[in-house]
Each structure stands twice: as C-alpha cells, then as structure tokens.
A and B are shown apart, each in its own frame.
Chain A
Amino acid sequence: MADRVVRVLVGKPGLDGHDRAAKVMARALRDAGFEVIYTGIRQTPAQVAQTAVQEDVDVVVLNNLTGAHLEVFPLVVEELKKRGRDDIYVLATGVIPFEDVELLKEKGIDEVFGPGTGPIHIINWIKEHVLGEKQGE
C-alpha cells in the first residue's frame, strides 16, 4: 500500500467562477504527494462525474462558494452512482453553513470542510480514509 499513489479530482460544479481556493487546494494536494486533476470552473455535475470516472480517481473534492452546494453537490454523487462508481469518495468544500453538513452527508457526501478549514484537513482525511494512515495525536 505504501507506494500507492492516490488520485484526486478537484471539481467545480455549478456557475461559481471563484477558483482561488480550488487551485490552491489542487496544488497543496499535489505537494502532499497525490496525483491531482482540476476540472476548471463551471462544470456540470455530469461533467465532473465523467472526468472522475475517466481519470479513475479515488477522491473527488468539490468546491463551491456561491451557496449552491445543497443543490449541486448531491447531483455529482448521483452522476457517479449512474456510472457505477459510488465507491469514489466525495468531499465537499467551500462556504457551507454548519446546518448543511448533515444534509449533505445524508445525500452521500463523505465529509464536509467548511469555513475555517484548509487543505491540511483534507490531506489528512484522504491519508486516513484512502491510505489507512492514522493521522494526528
């Protein structure tokens, strides 16, 4: 397992054009040793899922800053399911109010990283869940 390279797709579904966080995240994940693909902005949920399947990623990190996460993120989960790839982890990031966290998890999002979190939290989560490395302590 030690040599396994984790593949991550950073995806921006929806109309949001603010991609500083997505780009910084993509680069931070790459520096952490993952193989990273970035979709670019303004992708439909189907496009994000399609890229995830084509690139055979382990994790999809979604980012949205407009408040459309409740509508748009679950659609990515659905599109992955349609393609038989609900094994791919889906993480949600962006300006996500705390009361939305459970709602997103109910709809198949594996974890939510809202305001006040950063790439390091996502990197640790991936290491723990995909590579089975215990983090912290």
Chain B
Amino acid sequence: MEDRKKILQVKEDWLSTDYAKFVAKVPERKHPFMLDSGIEINPLYTPADLDEDWSYLERLGFPGRYPFTRGVYPTMYRGRFWTMRQYAGFGTAEESNQRFKYLLEQGQTGLSVAFDLPTQLGYDSDHDLAVGEVGKVGVAIDSVEDMHVLFDGIPLDKVSTSMTINAPAAILLAMYIVVAEEKGIDRKVLRGTIQNDILKEYVARGTYIFPPRPSMRLIADTIMFCAEEVPKWNPISISGYHIRESGSTAVQEIAFTLGDAIEYVKTVIEKGMDVDKFAARLSFFFASHNNFFEEIAKFRAARRVWAKIMKEKFGAQNPKSMMLRFHTQTAGSTLTAQQPLNNIVRVAIQALAAVIGGTQSLHTNSYDEALSLPTEESVTVALRTQQIIAYESGVADVIDGIGGSYYVEKLTDEIEKKVWEYLDKIEKMGGMVPAIEEGYIQQEITDAAYQYYKAVADGEKVVVGVNKFVDPNEDLTKFHLHRADPTVREKQVKKLKELREKRDNQKVRKLLDDLRKAAEDENTNLMPYIIEAVRARATLGEITDVLREVFGEYRPPVIF
C-alpha cells in the first residue's frame, strides 16, 4: 500500500486548496454533517483515515471466520439467499393460517407469527383486560387447539417458524412442540425461533409480565431445554429492533442489545451449562433504518463486537458460538402516513442495507403500515422488494461487496468503539439488569427519541412528504384500510368455553399444581411441566396465572 504519510499529505493539500476553494464558492449543505450516533462525517475517506494499526486480517479477516466482520458464512448469499420472512398474524388462527399459506405460495421461505397483545401478556381472550385487543396486532392464541388451527396444512418439519413472543415464550414454544408431536413430528427436527428476550421489553416494547429475576430464569430454562431437546431451535432472538424503534441511535441499538445478550449468557453459564453447548443457538434481531452506510457499518460492527465478547469474555471455543446471526426488519418508524407509496422506496433502501450488511433473514415493511394492518397487495410488494434485491440487483452475488470502502470500514471501527464505551459503562453499573432498574437505558433511549423528533419538527432532518415536498392536495382519508375481524373475541370466548367443558379438568388442575411446585424451586427446569400442561389443554392464561402467583408482576418506573 502507498505510504500513509504521503496520502495524508496529499489529502491535507487537497482539503486546503481544491476543496476549500469550492466550499468558499458553494457552501456545503450542512455544518457539520453528523450521524444520529454522534459521529461526524468527513467529506472524504482514504486508506490513511483508518487507524494507524489497522490490520485487514485482524479487523476483517474472512467470511465464516473470526471476527466475522465480512459475514458469518463462507459463501453467504452465493449459496442460499437470506430467509424471506414476513411478520404476519391477525384475527383468528383461521385468518392467520390463510395469510401464511398465501405468503408461502408467493415464495416466502419462512414463517413469522405476530400474536395479539392478550396472548403476549398471558391473558386468555375472555379476560377483562383483553377487551378491544383480541386479534388486533396479531393472532389470538388461547390454547394448543388454536395453535393446531394456525399451522393447519403447514409442514412443520420443513418450514422454519419465528414467533414474536417474550414473557410467555416458554408456553408458546410448548404449544408448537405439542402441535408438532400430535402431528407425528419429532421435536428434534423443529426449526424456528422464539423471541424470548425480556430485557428489551422492560426498556422498549412493554410486554413484560414478571420481574427481571424470574423472567431470566424462564429464559435460561428455555435455552437449556432447547439445547438438549430441540437442538435446531433458536431459543432466543436478542432484539435491538424495538430499542431502535423506541428512538435509540444505531450505536445504542447494538450496545444495549449486546448488553442484554451478555446477561443471558451469564445467566445460563451460572446455571451450569458450558457456553459452547448453547451459544451457537443465540440469534439476534436488528432494525435497518434510513442511513444506508451507517446501517451497513452497524451490522458489521455488531458481528465483530459479539465475536470478541464470546471469545474473550466468555471463553467460547466453538467458532459457531461467536457468530452473530441476525434477522432484520426495515424500520417501521420511518414509514410515513403522508404519500404512502414513498415508503416502498424507503423500505427498498433499508432492505438493501440489511442485505449488504449480511442479514440471515429479512422482513420488509409494507407501505401502508403507518395507517393500518398491511393488505395482501402491500405485503406482496414488500416481499417482491426482497426478491428484486435477491434476483435482480446483483448485490447477493458477492460476499460483503462493500468491504474495503474506506468510509464503511472507518464507520465500522467508530461504531465499534462507541459500542464498547456503552458496554463498559453498563458493566460498571453491574450489567443490564441494574442499568434498566435504575432507568438509565430508558432515559438514554427517550432522550435520543426526543432529539430525533425535534430535528424533524425543526426541519433540520428532512422527511420527504412530511416536512418537505408536502402535497397540499393529499387526501389521506381515501386510503384503503385493512381491519381485523371485530368478532374475534366472541369467537375465542366461545372456543374457550367449549375447551373447558371438553377437557379433563381434574388432570389440568393437577398439572398446573405440579407446575406451581416446580416454579417455586428455582433449580427446576419448567419446560417439561409447561409442555404437559399445554398437552392437557391448559390455556395460556391459566399457565401464566400460576407463574404470576409464584413470580409476581413487574411494575416499571415511569420515565419520559
């Protein structure tokens, strides 16, 4: 390579002559140019802008090898594209099952289940607090019977299924296992993911039930159970997506997510399981936001930091334990109600960043999501966007095609540095649990969200169609809306009533009692007890209630 000093010299010269003269004539649009992460963007990057000790082999290496900066697999998308996985679910299990089949027919390659809020919070549809919420933001699941309907006609031994479920994740996983087994499918072949990431619920997403300590135990139980019993299942998807959507910066998204991940790993190791026995099955979930290069650098930095954490902090030996495999969703909060078709373009750019960033699976948002549930038409456009990137753009034909970009490499390094700063700070606070209990993480995210809002409100940050290029004649009321079936709750209540009449109630009571006793002993793995209760047709609400009694409920600090 050319002499670093020489490049710096010429760059200085260029900045003080050609560049300076030009700026004097035509001032730059902004001063300074900044990323939301607080990193200043220089006008130009050269090899000499990388750190003096920058080493290709140390910082990038090769795909499928430590530190995995360039990707987790040796061939990346030259072998197989990422999994195209659209998050879907609404109304009854019957309706959602139809949407799943439609998506699979359109060429989608994995399923992703959205549950309604009563399900996510462990309430049966007939609970008082479920009023108005049954079937709204996802499908209503009360018992394994609903789960059978949801996956009717779908080959669970062939498809991989991701379930966005956290506080009651163990129960929904149990239902999935029981459905498979009742169809004659061995749990050992099941592939999929439960989100099961409670820490980000406390700071960003809100569907917590129990306090942190028993919640961490439930998560450890599922991770350890899956390592033995459901070896192809990802028992957790440690999620930055919701942290980002709550308003965090890209750096905070990675730092807080990896901070959460460290807690989970510590918890399982403390329970006595060797790190290499479970770490390969930890999976991650990030957002892909608007800033194209920042997002790509973010994904690359995340892989490198995680690899170092696993190797250096936890002493992992198996390279698979060091691989950060992740799902990506384009950032819902960037979608606008105004001029909704513009969202197709936003999604395409964000999806491209995710693919260049090396994602393992991807959800592309539908253009009408700022207004309502997506229609079949809009979700098809979203899926087609992924297919166009995969089959037409050519970006998938080479591994890490952007690697070596002076800017992206520098940005990857700077994001990594800032992530470590946060991680060190969190460690000094005693880890993520105390940092969350003290409200530190929530305050950091809320501050960033408010800054973002103000930048848009002041016009400093342009949102096309919202604060610039506004269409004064736009009539948003004409937009076609898709609504969930308003009678879902009645239907679910009726099903619940029938279920409780039909099943062996004595057996259910006994199994729930066994579960209670098991819950009282911190060292008993709860999964087998939950599976037996589910098999006997205990409902989600009944099982959660038992755990509520033993574990108590979490009450958060209010921060804004």
Is there a chain A Cβ closer than 8 Å to B341's Cβ?
no
CA distance A70 to B558 in the complex (A): 26
Is there a chain A Cβ closer than 8 Å to B371's Cβ?
yes
B117–A66 touching, CB < 8 Å: yes
Q: Which residue of A lies closest to B371 (CB)?
A: A115
A66–B133 touching, CB < 8 Å: yes
Is there a chain B Cβ closer than 8 Å to A85's Cβ?
no
CA distance A105 to B143 in the complex (A): 37
B450–A70 touching, CB < 8 Å: no
A68–B136 touching, CB < 8 Å: yes
A67–B201 touching, CB < 8 Å: no
The dominant DSSP class at the B interface is: loop
8 A Cβ contacts from B117-138 to A: 117-118, 120-121, 129-133, 136-137
Cβ contact of B206, chosen from A10, A18, A26, A27, cutoff 8 A? A18
Is there a chain A Cβ closer than 8 Å to B269's Cβ?
no
Is there a chain A Cβ closer than 8 Å to B337's Cβ?
yes
* Known contacts A23-B446, A24-B450, A68-B132; A18/B205 CB under 8 A: yes
CB of B449, distance to nearest CB on chain A (Å): 5
Interface residue stretch chosen among B39-47, B476-484, B504-512:
B476-484
- Among B205, B246, B453, B457, max chain A CB count under 10 A is at B453
B371–A95 touching, CB < 8 Å: yes
Interface residue stretch chosen among A37-45, A52-60, A127-135:
A37-45
8 A Cβ contacts from B510-556 to A: 556
CA distance A7 to B446 in the complex (A): 22
CB of B91, distance to nearest CB on chain A (Å): 11
Residues of A within 8 A of B205 (CB): 17-18
B333–A97 touching, CB < 8 Å: no
B476–A118 touching, CB < 8 Å: no
Residues of A within 8 A of B246 (CB): 18-20
A15–B245 touching, CB < 8 Å: no
Residues of A within 8 A of B336 (CB): 116
CB of B352, distance to nearest CB on chain A (Å): 25
Q: Which residue of A lies closest to B135 (CB)?
A: A67
B453–A44 touching, CB < 8 Å: no
8 A Cβ contacts from B91-149 to A: 117-118, 120-121, 129-133, 136-137
Residues of B within 8 A of A10 (CB): 560
* Known contacts A70-B132, A116-B337, A116-B476; A17/B201 CB under 8 A: yes
* Known contacts A67-B137, A118-B457; A38/B132 CB under 8 A: no
A15–B560 touching, CB < 8 Å: no
Residues of B within 8 A of A120 (CB): 457
Number of residues of chain A lying within 8 A (CB) of chain B:
37
Is there a chain B Cβ closer than 8 Å to A28's Cβ?
yes
Q: Which residue of B lies closest to A12 (CB)?
A: B206
Contact with B along A57-93 (1 / 0, CB 8 A): 0000000001110111000000000000000000000
Number of residues of chain B lying within 8 A (CB) of chain A:
42
Is there a chain A Cβ closer than 8 Å to B370's Cβ?
yes
B129–A15 touching, CB < 8 Å: yes
CA distance A119 to B118 in the complex (A): 29
Residues of A within 8 A of B333 (CB): 20
A20–B372 touching, CB < 8 Å: no
Residues of A within 8 A of B121 (CB): 15
Residues of B within 8 A of A19 (CB): 206, 246
Is there a chain A Cβ closer than 8 Å to B338's Cβ?
yes
Q: Which residue of B lies closest to A67 (CB)?
A: B136
Residues of A within 8 A of B89 (CB): none
A66–B137 touching, CB < 8 Å: yes
Q: Which residue of A lies closest to B247 (CB)?
A: A20
* Known contacts A15-B117, A97-B371; A116/B449 CB under 8 A: no
Is there a chain A Cβ closer than 8 Å to B207's Cβ?
yes
CA distance A121 to B373 in the complex (A): 25
CA distance A70 to B136 in the complex (A): 12
CA distance A40 to B133 in the complex (A): 18
Q: Which residue of B lies closest to A36 (CB)?
A: B560
8 A Cβ contacts from B443-473 to A: 446, 449-450, 453, 457, 466
Residues of A within 8 A of B559 (CB): 23
* Known contacts A23-B446, A24-B453, A98-B477; A14/B132 CB under 8 A: yes
**8 A-B pairs closest in CB distance:** A17-B206, A71-B132, A115-B337, A68-B132, A15-B117, A116-B337, A40-B558, A23-B560
User: Apart from A20-B247, A36-B560, what 20 extra A-B contacts exist at CB < 8 Å?
Assistant: A14-B117, A15-B133, A17-B206, A17-B207, A18-B205, A19-B206, A23-B560, A24-B453, A38-B560, A40-B558, A42-B206, A67-B372, A68-B132, A68-B136, A71-B131, A97-B372, A97-B483, A98-B479, A115-B337, A115-B371
Return 7 A-B CB contacts under 8 Å, by A number.
A28-B453, A66-B136, A71-B131, A97-B372, A98-B476, A118-B457, A119-B453
